[in-house]
């Protein structure tokens, strides 16, 4: 028969081929090649990861240092008095701090009677943020007016860039941001120990600013904190309750099937669509304020809800049925079995899932752009209704700024964000290791 | 009282109700709590629920409805001349009234009296105007008397409404407490009632997910219909030119309407996603094969979590990497070998996005390959096949539907991805086949149309919702189909 023919003759042929050493060699080398492709794929992925981190760390770590100049500032009394010679709040607010700083710098460099262009060049070495710095010193103790006090004043972003080596000294003077004299002044200040790179606390405390040296993450960190708080207060209770219902009580019918599919699908909806939802419902329909971290928190809550539900369901499912049955056996109701036995045992898993949801929410940018968190906010938000920004949004805003100083800050902010995420992930791993139970 | 205060008050009342009922339940059985139907605490919770729940529900419903009700009351009292004005002017008048209503509570008691007298006709209206203007309330150049009257009315309505809802909440709380307190008997099934309420709460929580989807669909759909009333759908879906003409001034000057063609954006989105999949699918798939078939537990235990890190990095970080490092690198490399590659191009965004979705492909494929039964492999080994032949001829064909599902999920992720393309793909809507040129995507345009300070009802803003709906529809189809395949496939071997 035909089938027998097809079996017998190729079988004889292939048995000849199978013993052929050349064929075997080919097959084995194909095997090795295949294995190498797999290994290479993993290596390529790891390589990308390493490149990503090195590029961010190498460009970002300098943001944690900031050049400051120690100057003996003479707080000349005439600067802080109004027309009738009294020190007043208004006079302090309006004082010419730029001049005070420039005079102090001039004394430190030993320049006498500088002309107009020199004055301008001196001024360029100091940040515009020195106003607040000197004012803070005065407000802390008004008796200092009339004295000469040493203050660490922020250097301008160009001086900072020069010290960090991102302004090339070999570039011709005409194309360099600082001319030869300014460079010489900077070198002199460094030699005298007046100009130093110190740890940049401002990166964590300042609000929005158009100058890189006085721009910080303060507002963004508080905004992100508020949003995480809202996500924890909204998404977690709702998510746990929904998961408990679906796992323990829901009858198997079309409605629960729809809920299931819906939750899985919601987890894969593009995040930007949640931003549209927030804009249409929370802002236009419910009239909540734009740029408020409350709206951001609510949008992120809806977005993390599926994550929390899926994680909680897995945690509840991992509790063996014997626990439930024992509880029911001694007369507990199903609700009592859930709240007294199942949920406490599932708690570590729920916590891990919650942290993963929070991590996801903390890194999310796109939906927040829709609801006005892209805002220039200088003052710290006090309540979740105040205008704020979020960490990733701040990174986005700095990334779109043109000044060189912002590139470094952007990378620095990214490092801060990654650090937060790393700590939260580590907490999740620790919880899982510490409380994991094998039944 | 504010809703917040009412809530706090009700919570306190509920706590009191809890304790009182606890004592009563204990007293009815003279301390022998085993004679009660339910455990003691349930009687307390029973009364607490009756005290707080109806009152709280009414308060929330009223708080949500209050602004509309007051608005319509105020509007009804406006003079005929205002009511007959077109909507735009009317809403301007309402805005002025609202600012008066906001200013009034800032007045001192004496000042408020003057406004009150003016409203009731005992004092000239100009007195009230002067006082308000001193407090910085914007009244417009020629303040009409009805604005202040209406503002005053609005404040009074609001006060009355607050008093009313406080009263109603208190009444409901007292009634609820009384009913539950007097119904406490040893045979009362307190636990069953409490548990039913808890169950109701759990069910309500599980519908939030559905409500979210419904909310997304309706809010986006509603604005999209709004958009289509100004721009015909055919022009949107089949238009090949994207030129929204940002300002209305520009429209007046040039005399041309904005053009909202979806095709260039859709093309950009699909092109970038295709490049991303070209990167992610081979790497992810080979990584998954190696990890599930070849790697020892040590390498697997190291490589799998490290790959997952790629999935945990926020997309803004990838975007930044593409913008600052990878884009310039590609451009310089292009210069070296004589190719003209733009810093933000299809290639830049696509490759970086591909890196991002590697773990989506690899971890799902890994699960699926691992779930192919061992017996299939062993059958193949028994016939003399090498490991790679087994994988190519037996395991992969068996796992193919699941892998297709995984790739579709990754594709949906790539299509909806925003931050990478916002930072690294460009903003010009190009219909190009050249991967070295910038293109733009649906998500980029949603962001750029909505982040400006535009009036909300212009087609320039509304188009974002039409784009959002398109995006939602595409990803929904991909997701549901992929989830269906993956799920069905898993069941097959379980």
Tell me whether residue A212 is in a domain. no
DSSP string, A78-89: GGGB-TTS-B-H
From the CA of A70, how many Å to the nearest CA of chain B? 34
Same domain, yes or no: A264 and A369: yes
DSSP A342: I
- Write the secondary structure of A94-110 as one string of H (helix), E (strand) and C (coil): HCCHHHHHHHHHHHHHC
Half-sphere exposure of A309 (CA within 13 A, CB side): 32
Q: Do both A244 and A378 map to the same domain?
A: yes
User: Could you list the residue range(s) of the whole structural domain that residue A361 is in?
Assistant: 218-435
Domain span(s) for CATH 1.10.3720.10 in chain B: 253-493
User: Are B418 and A270 inside 8 Å of each other by CB?
Assistant: yes
Q: Is B454 on the interface with A (CB under 8 A)?
A: no
The ipTM estimated for the assembled molecules is: 0.88
CB-CB under 8 Å, B314 with A417 = yes
Q: What is the CATH number of the domain that holds A242?
A: 1.10.3720.10
**One-character DSSP codes across A139-172:** HH-GGGTTSEEEEEEEBPHHHHHHHTT-S-TTS-
Predicted confidence at residue B136, as pLDDT, reads 66
Give the pLDDT score at B147.
Answer: 77
Q: How high does pLDDT run on average in chain A? A: 86
pLDDT digits (tens, 9 = 90+) for A116-145: 888 888 888 888 888 888 888 888 888 888
Q: How many residues does chain A have?
A: 439
- Per-residue model confidence as pLDDT tens digits over A369-428: 988 888 888 889 988 888 899 999 999 999 888 777 788 889 999 999 999 999 999 988
Chain-chain contact of B475 with A270 (C-beta, under 8 angstroms)? yes
Residue A80 lies in a domain: yes
Q: How many CB atoms lie within 10 A of CB A91?
A: 15
Superfamily holding B253-493: MetI-like (1.10.3720.10)
State the Cα–Cα distance between residues B34 and A331, nearest whole angstrom: 14
Examine the domain organization and report whether A329 and A417 are in the same domain.
yes
Q: How far is CA B57 from CA A114, B10, B54, in A?
A: 74, 11, 5
pLDDT value of residue A172? 83
Q: Kindly tell me if the per-residue pLDDT of B249 is higher than 80.
A: no
Which of A177, A207, A237 is the last residue in one of the domains?
A: A207
Both A86 and A178 in one domain: the answer is: yes
Instruction: Return the SS3 of B184.
Output: coil
Which positions ≥6 away from B342 have C-beta within 8 Å? B331, B426, B436, B437, B438
- For residue B151, what pLDDT is reported? 80
Residues A225, A181 share a domain: no
User: Do the domain assignments include residue A190?
Assistant: yes
Do the chains contact at A268 and B475, CB–CB below 8 Å?
yes
**A312 pLDDT above the threshold of 90:** yes
In terms of pLDDT, which residue wins out, B90 or A192? A192
Distance of residue B357 Cα from the nearest chain A Cα, in angstroms: 11
Q: What are the pLDDT digits (tens) for A2-46?
A: 444 444 444 455 555 667 888 888 989 999 999 999 999 999 999
What is residue A4's predicted lDDT score, i.e. its pLDDT?
44
The confidence score (pLDDT) of residue A334 equals 92
Q: A-contacting residues of B 271-300, CB under 8 Å?
A: 282-287, 289-291, 293-294
Task: Specify the range with the lowest mean pLDDT, choosing from A168-177, B305-314, B331-340, B466-475.
Answer: A168-177
Residue B452 confidence class, pLDDT cut points 50, 70, 90? low
- CB contact under 8 Å between B413 and A268, yes or no, is yes
Please determine, for residue B201, whether its predicted confidence score (pLDDT) is greater than 80.
yes
Residue A79 banded pLDDT, cuts 50, 70, 90 = confident
Round to whole Å and give the CA distance between B482 and B487: 8
Q: Is residue A39 part of a domain?
A: yes
> How far is it, in rounded angstroms, from Cα B450 to Cα B224?
14
Chosen domain end from A207, A231, A260 = A207
Minimum distance, in Å, between the CA of residue A425 and any CA atom of chain B = 9
Percent of chain B exceeding pLDDT 90 equals 40
- Per-residue pLDDT reduced to its tens digit, B40-87: 889 999 999 999 999 999 999 998 888 888 888 888 877 777 777 776
Structurally, how many domains does chain A consist of? 3
Q: Is A213 contained in some domain? A: no
Chain A positions touching B306 (Cβ under 8 A) are: 46, 49
Please say which residue of A41, A60, A79 terminates a domain: A60
């Amino acid at each position: 028969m035909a089938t027998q023919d097809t079996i017998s003759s190729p079988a004889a042929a292939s048995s000849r081929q199978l013993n052929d050493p050349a064929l075997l060699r080919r097959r084995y080398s194909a095997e090795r090649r295949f294995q190498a492709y797999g290994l290479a794929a993993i290596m390529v992925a790891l390589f990308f990861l390493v490149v990503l981190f090195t590029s961010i760390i190498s460009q970002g770590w300098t943001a944690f240092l900031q050049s400051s100049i120690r100057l003996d500032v003479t707080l000349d009394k005439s600067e802080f008095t109004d027309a009738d010679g009294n020190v007043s709040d208004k006079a302090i607010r309006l004082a010419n701090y730029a001049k005070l700083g420039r005079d102090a710098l001039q004394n430190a460099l030993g320049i006498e009677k500088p002309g107009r262009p020199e004055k301008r060049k001196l001024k360029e070495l100091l940040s515009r943020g020195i106003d607040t710095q000197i004012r803070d010193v005065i407000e802390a103790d008004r008796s200092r007016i009339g004295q000469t006090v040493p203050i660490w004043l922020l250097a301008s972003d160009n001086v900072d860039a020069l010290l960090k080596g991102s302004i090339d000294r070999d570039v011709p003077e005409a194309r360099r941001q600082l001319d030869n004299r300014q460079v010489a002044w900077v070198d002199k200040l460094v030699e005298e120990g007046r100009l130093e790179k110190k740890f940049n606390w401002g990166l964590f405390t300042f609000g929005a600013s158009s100058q890189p040296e006085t721009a910080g993450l303060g507002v963004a960190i508080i905004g992100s904190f508020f949003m995480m708080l809202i996500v924890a207060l909204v998404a977690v209770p709702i998510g746990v309750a929904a998961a408990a219902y679906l796992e323990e009580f829901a009858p198997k019918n079309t409605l629960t099937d729809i809920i299931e599919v819906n939750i899985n699908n919601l987890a894969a909806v593009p995040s930007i669509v949640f931003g549209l939802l927030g804009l249409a419902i929370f802002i236009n329909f419910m009239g909540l304020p734009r740029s408020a971290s409350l709206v951001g928190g609510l949008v992120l809550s809806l977005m993390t809800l599926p994550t929390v539900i899926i994680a909680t369901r897995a945690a509840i499912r991992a509790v063996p049925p014997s626990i439930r049955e024992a509880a029911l056996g001694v007369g507990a109701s199903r609700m009592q079995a859930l709240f007294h036995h199942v949920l406490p045992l599932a708690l570590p898993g729920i916590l891990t899932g919650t942290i993963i949801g929070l991590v996801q929410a903390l890194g999310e940018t796109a939906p927040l752009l829709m609801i006005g968190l892209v805002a220039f906010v200088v003052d710290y938000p006090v309540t979740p209704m105040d205008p704020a920004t979020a960490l990733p949004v701040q990174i986005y805003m700095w990334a779109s700024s043109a000044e060189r100083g912002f590139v470094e800050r952007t990378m620095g902010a990214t490092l801060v964000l990654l650090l937060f995420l790393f700590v939260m992930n580590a907490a999740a791993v620790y919880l899982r290791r510490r409380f994991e139970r094998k039944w | 009282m504010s809703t917040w205060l009412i809530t706090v008050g009700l919570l306190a009342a509920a706590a009191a109700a809890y304790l009182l009922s606890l004592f009563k339940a204990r007293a009815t059985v003279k301390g022998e709590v085993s004679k009660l139907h339910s455990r003691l605490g349930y009687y307390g919770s029973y009364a607490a629920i009756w005290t707080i729940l109806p009152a709280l529900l009414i308060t929330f419903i009223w708080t949500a409805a209050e602004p509309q009700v007051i608005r319509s009351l105020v509007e009804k009292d406006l003079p005929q001349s205002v009511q007959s004005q077109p909507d735009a002017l009317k809403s301007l008048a309402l805005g002025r009234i609202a600012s008066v209503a906001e200013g009034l509570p800032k007045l001192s008691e004496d000042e408020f009296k003057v406004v009150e007298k003016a409203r009731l006709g005992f004092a000239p209206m100009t007195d009230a105007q002067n006082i308000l203007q001193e407090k910085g309330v914007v009244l417009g150049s020629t303040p009409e008397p009805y604005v202040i009257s209406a503002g005053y009315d609005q404040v009074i309505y609001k006060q009355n409404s607050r008093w009313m809802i406080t009263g109603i909440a208190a009444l409901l709380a007292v009634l609820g407490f009384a009913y539950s307190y007097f119904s406490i008997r040893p045979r009362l099934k307190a636990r069953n009632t409490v548990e039913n309420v808890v169950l109701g709460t759990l069910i309500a929580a599980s519908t939030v997910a559905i409500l979210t989807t419904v909310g997304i669909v309706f809010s986006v759909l509603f604005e999209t219909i709004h958009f289509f009333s100004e721009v015909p759908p055919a022009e949107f879906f089949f238009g090949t030119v994207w030129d929204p003409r940002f300002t209305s001034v520009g429209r007046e000057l040039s005399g041309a309407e904005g053009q909202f063609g979806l095709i260039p954006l859709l093309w950009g989105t699909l092109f970038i996603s295709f490049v991303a999949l070209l990167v992610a699918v081979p790497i992810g798939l080979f990584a998954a094969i190696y990890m599930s078939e070849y790697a020892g537990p040590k390498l697997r235990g190291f490589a799998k979590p490290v790959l997952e890190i790629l999935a945990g990095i926020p997309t803004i970080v990838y975007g930044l990497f593409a913008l600052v490092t990878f884009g310039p690198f590609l451009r310089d490399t292009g210069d070296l070998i004589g190719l003209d590659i733009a810093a933000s191009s299809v290639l830049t965004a696509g490759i970086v996005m591909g890196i991002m979705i590697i773990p989506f492909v690899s971890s799902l494929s890994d699960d699926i390959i691992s779930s192919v039964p061992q017996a299939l492999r062993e059958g193949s080994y028994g016939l003399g096949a090498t490991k790679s032949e087994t994988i190519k001829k037996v395991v992969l064909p068996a796992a193919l539907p699941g892998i297709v599902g995984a790739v579709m999920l990754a594709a949906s992720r790539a299509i909806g991805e925003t931050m990478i393309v916002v930072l690294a793909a460009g903003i010009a809507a190009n219909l190009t086949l050249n991967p070295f040129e910038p293109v733009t995507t649906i998500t980029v345009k949603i962001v750029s149309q909505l982040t400006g300070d535009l009036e909300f009802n212009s087609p320039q803003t509304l188009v974002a919702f039409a784009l959002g709906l398109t995006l939602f529809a595409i990803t929904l189809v991909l997701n549901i189909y992929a989830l269906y395949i993956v799920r069905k496939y898993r069941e097959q071997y379980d």
